[in-house]
Amino acid sequence: MMRKVIGIIVIIVGLGYVFMSFDFLPVIGDSTAPAHTHVSDYYIENALRDTHSPNLVTAVLADYRGFDTLLETTVMFSAGVCAVMILGSKSHIRNRFLVPKKILKGKPEPGVSAYKTVNKDVMVTLIAIMILLYAIYVLLHGEVGPGGGFQAGALMALSYIVSMMIAPDTRPLFSLSKANAAALAGIGVFIYAFTGLLTVFNGGMFLEYGRLPFPVSNEYLHTIGIMLIEVGVTIGVMATIITILKAIIERVRFDDDRD
Partner 1 sequence: MIQHYPALVVILPLCGAALSLALTKIHLHLGRNVIFLSMALSFYMSIMQLRNVVINGPMEYRFGGYAIPYSIEFRIDTVNGLVVAMVALMGLITAFYCISGEIRSEKLKVGGAYAVVALFVAGMLGNASSADAFNMYVFLEITALAAYCLIALGGNRGMVAAFRYMLVGTIAGTFYLLGVGILYSATGTLNMQDMSIIIQQGGKDEAVLVALCLMIAGLGIKSALFPFHGWQPSAHTHEERGSAALIAGVMVKIPVYMLFRFVYCVFGTNFKYMQQILIVLGIFVGIGMMYGSIRAIGQTNMKKLLAYSSITQTSYFMLGIVIGSPVALAGSLLHFIGDAFIKGGLFYCAGAIKYKFGTVNIDNFGRIYKKMPVTSALIVAGALSMIGIPPTVGFFSKWYIAMGAIQTGKYIFVILLIISSLLNAIYFFKIIEKIFMSKDKGLEDVRPVKKGELPWSMLVPMSVCIVVIFLLGFLNVKIINMVLPLLKGVGM
Partner 2 sequence: MMTGIEQFLADKGIYYLTFLLLSFGVYGIIACKNYMKKLICMNIMQVAAIVFFLSLGQKKGATIPVLIEGLTNADSYINPLTHALMLTAIVVSLGTTGVGLALLTRIREKFGSVEEDDIIRRQNKL
Residues that bind partner 2 (CB under 8 A): 4, 7-8, 11-12, 15-16, 19-20, 23, 25-31, 35-36, 39-41, 43-45, 47-48, 54-57, 59-61, 65, 68-69, 71-72, 75-76, 78-80, 82-83, 86-87, 144-146, 148, 150, 244, 247-248, 251-252
The reply to whether 133 sits near partner 1 by the rule CB under 8 A is no
The reply to whether 34 sits near partner 1 by the rule CB under 8 A is yes
**Which of partner 2, partner 1, none binds 67 (CB below 5-8 Å, type-dependent)?**
partner 1
Instruction: By CB under 8 A, name the one of 56, 81, 98, 136 that touches partner 1.
Output: 81
CA distance 63 to 231: 14
Direct distance between the N- and C-terminal alpha carbons of the chain, in angstroms, rounded to an integer: 44
Q: Cα separations (Å) of 78 from 81, 185, 190?
A: 5, 9, 13
**Which of partner 1, partner 2, none binds 57 (CB below 5-8 Å, type-dependent)?**
partner 2
Q: Cα separations (Å) of 2 from 8, 9, 87, 143, 239?
A: 10, 11, 40, 53, 48
CA 157 to chain centre: 9
The reply to whether 24 sits near partner 1 by the rule CB under 8 A is yes
Provide the minimum distance between the beta carbon of 71 and partner 1 in the complex, in angstroms, as a whole number: 4
| Number of other CB atoms surrounding residue 221 within 10 Å | 20
